[in-house]
Every structure is written in structure tokens, then in C-alpha cells.
A and B are shown apart, each in its own frame.
With several copies, the nearest count.
Chain A
Amino acid sequence: MAADGAYWLGPAEWQAVRLSIQVSFWATAASLPLGIFTAYALARWDFIGKQLLNGLVHLPLILPPVVTGYLLLLTFGRRGPVGEALEQWFGIVLSFRWTGAAVAAAVMAFPLMVRAIRLAIEAVDPKLEQAASTLGASRMWVFLTVTLPLILPGIIAGAILAFAKAMGEFGATITFVSNIPGQTQTIPSAIYAFLQVPGGQEAAGRLVLIAVAIAMLALVLSEFVARRVAKRVAGA
């Protein structure tokens, strides 16, 4: 297939496909714990600044992606305050690396992930959590043994939404980390580049098909897993 594909897509495009998957996967996986935590905090705790946090989480949805990308560039860029600190203290460079693309994708996908997980948490019957606590489980254990398994379908839904969003993310990514083949050129950036010149539609169309195929695969897989999990949870 690789040999076959090599004719159909150039090596640069294959690279974009590989990179897109890598970026989307890590964007989703790495933000999941924070996403779960944030969703839990928003669903179950009352604290000062809750509305602010909620707004902040939604911000990337509200802002045009260019703005988000620009803000990311200003803060996480090599000359941005956070970017500089990250590089100095941890040696982590985000700007113009695939890691930066992952950060951009994660930020853009975060509101979707949090909302899905939050809805799932809000649907958990607190009476079950109470029952667990009377049996000796601390808050943490209640979360791990009762809440978490029960919201698994929601987590899967959130993760798949995030993954899909990350696969399609473009505006923030290209604004933050540019469009460097092999480093930051994901499928959407490549499609964009093709669409900017006459005659690029065909190549763009091929990439669109690839993107759709990957996302569909992930979607079908996640539906399958979610269904099994939901069955387990419903107990049938």
C-alpha cells in the first residue's frame, strides 16, 4: 500500500498524513487528564472564578482560530513569556515543532472534550458515589472506581471529538507554528497550501479523502468501543 500510495500521494503528503495522526493523537492523549480534571471541577465543585474558568475553556471556540493561533504565538512562541520560560527551564521548544502543532490542536479541541466529559459527569448519580464513600472509598477512590468507569463513554466521546477536531485544525496551527513540511505541516495545512494555487484542487481532494478516511476509522472504532463500554455500564 505504501508503494501504491507513493504514486498517489507524494512523500510530502504522506509525511503530512503521518504528522497529522501523530499531532492529533498526542493533542488528544496529553490533554485528556487535564480535560477530565477540568470537566470534574466544572461539574462538581463550586469555587470562585468558576465562570471564568468556564469561559477560558470555551475561548478557543469563540475566537477565530487565527486569533487563538496569534495569541499562542505571542505566549508560547520562542520570544513569548511562557515559551521562553519553557525553553530555559525545561528545554521544551514548542514553536515551529510538531509539539507546538499538538498544543494548538489541543487548545482548539479542549472545549469540545471538556463539554462532553462534563455532561457525562453530570449524568452520574451522586447516590452511587455516596454508596462508595460509605464503603470506605475516599474522594479519589470514589472517582477512580465509580465515577471514572461510569463516564467512560463520555470520555471516549470527548476524546473522539477532540481527535476529529485536531485532525481538522488549521487556522490556529498555521498561525502558531507555520506550515513546515515534516515539522508542522499537517493535512489541513497541506490542503490549504494546495488550495492557494491554481490546479491544486486535485491534490487537495486526495488529502481530504485521506483525512476523512482516517477520521471515519477512528469514529467507527470509537463507536464500537463506546457501545461496549456503555453496555458494560448499563450492565446488560
Chain B
Amino acid sequence: MTIQIAIENRFEDFTLDVAFKAPAGVTVLFGPSGSGKTSVINAVAGLLRPDAGRIVVDDWVLLDTQTKHNLAPHRRRIGYIFQEGRLFPHLNVRQNLLYGRWFAPRDARRESLSRVVEMLGIGPLLERRPAALSGGEKQRVAIGRALLAGPKLILADEPLAALDEARKAEILPYFERLSEEVSVPILYVSHSSSEVARLASTVVALKAGRVVACGPPAEVLGDVAAVGARGTASILRARVVAHHLDGLSELSTAAGALWLPQMDVTEGQTIRVRIAAQDVILSRARPKGLSALNILRGTIMEIRYGDGPGALVVLAMGEDRLIARITRRSVAEMALEPRQTCYAVIKSVAVAPGDVGRGRFTQTAQ
């Protein structure tokens, strides 16, 4: 399952010129407001016919302007979660949710209504009409509607923007599960770097209608130019060793043990953990007596300086890279240099539940 997209389109004073290839899993489109994310998704959905382009999912050609092939939207079998809801005002919530089902082939109806309804917490709303819903409730129904259509490809345009943290934490795993277990590819627009890290197999960073970076999240997220200083993060592979009674899970990484709040992953499985660069504290000596449980050992590979007062220190830990964002002053005071051994202090609870994902590690695309 790969998605290949190449689109050129001129708007009045904006030109979209995007080409990327993404492997199976969740491809996150990341970029500032007005960078062309929704336009790309609309083209995949067939709602925007680009001036030129080719869109292929696996071997299935959705659009090829050269051969004048353009599949009608209703034949594309997509589940599109729109940025602005677009619920059907004349149908109640239940009817909205089940709308796509009428048209889905019988074998595509994997999700049961009750399961989706429960996950989205919209049980009490089923008989209401969209006009009587709050902003976040509408958004949740829109998510459910797309999921229940049994799509072969999911397009999600900031699906969680209107929701609170708790709700997000409940819905995110669903997307993960879809992309992994059911292997439905997902094209996902997000502004949140923690969503990116959690979900993405591939991140496509857009800026002013162009792709500025494309690759696995570990790579793109480490690229300050693509994601900005505050979005920089690293992603570690970790195997779940054991779930302990005090509510912590023990993971092993190439650089030592990691303790995280208990998670819903079977022991023995490998998961990935996003660690925001700014959540990492470095120490030359192994620190003692700290409340932080996680102290990983690594070798400084590189120290990068940007414009601000910060510096990125990249540590090698086996095959993984851990990035720490610390102040220049600290670099100077600690006299950090490449090839030194260094300890990284990571607060266990600083690893947000949303940052633990089960995404597979994928090869660089494009």
C-alpha cells in the first residue's frame, strides 16, 4: 500500500506543486495555515481537479491528467473527515453516521456502529440533528461518519482540532489501529507535532504549496527547518518488557530502560516513543537522586546551532537518535563536544500518552 501523489494547480494567487510518495500507514501532512494541505486532500478525494497530476493508491490510479483518467469521487472509496464537519443537516446523528454504509460493499463494513459510537462518546446524541450539537460533537460525528463508510483510504483534515485532550487521547488509537490492523492508508492533516509523532509513518511537511520535507517522522521531526524549534523531537524504538504493579511499564531501548505510565500494549511488542527535544536534559555524569526515572546513555553525534539561544544535541543510542534541545549556555558550561558520552534525563511522565505509538519504522519515501 503506497500512495503516490503529484499535483500541480494554480489558484488565483497561490500555486500548489506537490509530489510525494508515501508507504503504507499514516501519512501526516504538516505545515502552516494556508500551505496547501486541504488542497492536496481535496485532490485525492476528487473534489479538486488539479491542472496536472497523477494520484495512485497502490496500483489503483485515481487520477491521471495525462491519460485524462479521473475517477469520480464516489468511486474512490474514501472516508473524508472534512475540516468543517459538513454533516447532513436533514439527517440525525445516527443517519449521518450510517450514510456511507448504504454505498459500501458488504465486506467493507468492518466497523460496527456501536463500537464507533462508544469510542467517540456520542451515544446520547444519536437521535439529535447536527444543528443541536456543539462544535466538538459535530466533529466527532464527522469522524464516525467517515470511519463507518468502510473506506479504502482515509482523509482526515485536522480531525481532532476542536477536541479536548482527553477526547483526543481516546480517538487517536483508533486511527492507529485502522492503519495497522486493517491497513487502511490514512492521509492526515495536523498542526500538532505530538499527533505527528504518534501517528505518522511518513511526514510530509508543506510550505507555501511545496513539499519542504518528506520522510519518516524521526527524520522530519528532527529537522528544525521543517517543523520549527518547538516541534523538534526524536523517536525511539522500544520493546515492552513488563507492566509493573505501580502503574508503570518498563521498556527497553538500545540505550537502556525506559519507564512510562502503563500502556495498552502486549509485553514483548516493539513500539515507538516520541520524545520532544525540549523534554530531554543532558548530564555528563549519570545523575543521582532525581525524580526522573529515565536516564539513557548515548554518544554525542552532533551539535547543531540555530538562530535562537538553543542548540540541538543529537545522541546516538544504538541505531536510534535522541535529540535534546538545550541552551547554548548549557552547551558551553558543560563543554559538550561530539563523541563524548552523555546521559539523557527524561521524565517518565513527560512522555505524553499521545506520543506512544505502535507505528512501524518505515524506509524513507520519495
Bound pair (A, B): yes
> A85 at the A/B interface (Cβ < 8 Å)?
no
Contact B104 A234, beta carbon cutoff 8 Å: no
Name the segment of B124-132, B194-202, B249-257 touching the other chain: B124-132
Chain A contacts for B89, CB-based, 8 A:
128, 150, 233-235
> B343 at the A/B interface (Cβ < 8 Å)?
no
Chain B contacts for A136, CB-based, 8 A:
74, 77, 100, 102-104, 149
Chain B contacts for A137, CB-based, 8 A:
74, 99, 102-103
Quote the shortest CB–CB distance from A112 to chain B (angstroms).
25
> B76 at the A/B interface (Cβ < 8 Å)?
yes
How far does the alpha carbon of A134 sit from the alpha carbon of B62 in the complex, in Å?
13
Quote the shortest CB–CB distance from A124 to chain B (angstroms).
10
Please report which residues of chain A, range 116-154, place their CB below 8 angstroms from some CB of chain B when the two chains form the complex: 127-128, 130-139, 141-142, 145-146, 149-150
Given contacts A234-B131, A235-B129, A235-B132, contact A133 B90 (CB under 8 A): no
> B300 at the A/B interface (Cβ < 8 Å)?
no
Quote the shortest CB–CB distance from B91 to chain A (angstroms).
8
Contact B88 A128, beta carbon cutoff 8 Å: yes
Question: Contact check: which of A127, A130, A146, A233 meets B73 at CB < 8 Å?
Answer: A130
> A236 at the A/B interface (Cβ < 8 Å)?
yes
Contact A146 B132, beta carbon cutoff 8 Å: no
B interface, CB within 8 angstroms of A: 45-47, 72-74, 76-80, 82, 84, 86, 88-90, 99-100, 102-104, 129-132, 145-146, 149
> What are 29 A-B residue pairs whose CB atoms fall within 8 Å in the complex?
A128-B88, A130-B73, A130-B86, A133-B46, A134-B76, A135-B74, A135-B103, A135-B145, A135-B149, A136-B74, A136-B100, A136-B102, A136-B104, A136-B149, A137-B99, A138-B72, A138-B74, A138-B103, A141-B102, A145-B102, A146-B88, A146-B90, A150-B89, A233-B90, A235-B89, A235-B129, A235-B131, A236-B131, A236-B132
A interface, CB within 8 angstroms of B: 127-128, 130-139, 141-142, 145-146, 149-150, 232-236
How far does the alpha carbon of A128 sit from the alpha carbon of B130 in the complex, in Å?
13
Closest chain A residue to B47, Cβ basis: A130
Closest chain B residue to A149, Cβ basis: B90
Quote the shortest CB–CB distance from A141 to chain B (angstroms).
7
Question: Contact check: which of A134, A141, A142, A146 meets B80 at CB < 8 Å?
Answer: A134
How far does the alpha carbon of A141 sit from the alpha carbon of B73 in the complex, in Å?
13
Contact B74 A127, beta carbon cutoff 8 Å: no
Closest chain B residue to A134, Cβ basis: B80
How far does the alpha carbon of A233 sit from the alpha carbon of B88 in the complex, in Å?
9
Given contacts A128-B89, A133-B74, A141-B102, 5 further A-B contacts (CB under 8 A): A135-B100, A135-B103, A137-B103, A141-B74, A146-B88
Closest chain B residue to A131, Cβ basis: B86
How far does the alpha carbon of A137 sit from the alpha carbon of B149 in the complex, in Å?
11
Contact A131 B80, beta carbon cutoff 8 Å: yes
Quote the shortest CB–CB distance from B143 to chain A (angstroms).
13
Chain A contacts for B132, CB-based, 8 A:
235-236
Chain B contacts for A134, CB-based, 8 A:
45-47, 73-74, 76, 78-80
How far does the alpha carbon of A130 sit from the alpha carbon of B85 in the complex, in Å?
12
Quote the shortest CB–CB distance from B102 to chain A (angstroms).
8
How far does the alpha carbon of A32 sit from the alpha carbon of B99 in the complex, in Å?
27
Question: Contact check: which of B84, B88, B104, B129 meets A132 at CB < 8 Å?
Answer: B88
How far does the alpha carbon of A150 sit from the alpha carbon of B91 in the complex, in Å?
10
Contact B99 A132, beta carbon cutoff 8 Å: yes
Quote the shortest CB–CB distance from A65 to chain B (angstroms).
38
Chain B contacts for A131, CB-based, 8 A:
80, 82, 86, 88
How far does the alpha carbon of A146 sit from the alpha carbon of B100 in the complex, in Å?
12
Q: In the complex, which of the residues B74, B100, B104 has the most CB atoms of chain A within 10 Å of its own CB atom?
A: B74
Quote the shortest CB–CB distance from B261 to chain A (angstroms).
38
Q: In the complex, which of the residues A134, A138, A141, A235 has the most CB atoms of chain B within 10 Å of its own CB atom?
A: A134
How far does the alpha carbon of A82 sit from the alpha carbon of B334 in the complex, in Å?
99
How far does the alpha carbon of A131 sit from the alpha carbon of B10 in the complex, in Å?
23
Contact B130 A235, beta carbon cutoff 8 Å: yes
Closest chain B residue to A138, Cβ basis: B74
Given contacts A130-B47, A146-B88, A233-B90, contact A135 B130 (CB under 8 A): no
Chain A contacts for B76, CB-based, 8 A:
134
Quote the shortest CB–CB distance from A225 to chain B (angstroms).
15
Closest chain B residue to A148, Cβ basis: B90
Q: In the complex, which of the residues B84, B88, B130 has the most CB atoms of chain A within 10 Å of its own CB atom?
A: B88
Contact B72 A133, beta carbon cutoff 8 Å: yes
Given contacts A127-B86, A234-B131, A235-B130, contact A133 B73 (CB under 8 A): yes
Chain A contacts for B79, CB-based, 8 A:
134-135
Chain A contacts for B46, CB-based, 8 A:
133-134
Question: Contact check: which of A141, A142, A150 meets B90 at CB < 8 Å?
Answer: A150
Closest chain B residue to A229, Cβ basis: B90
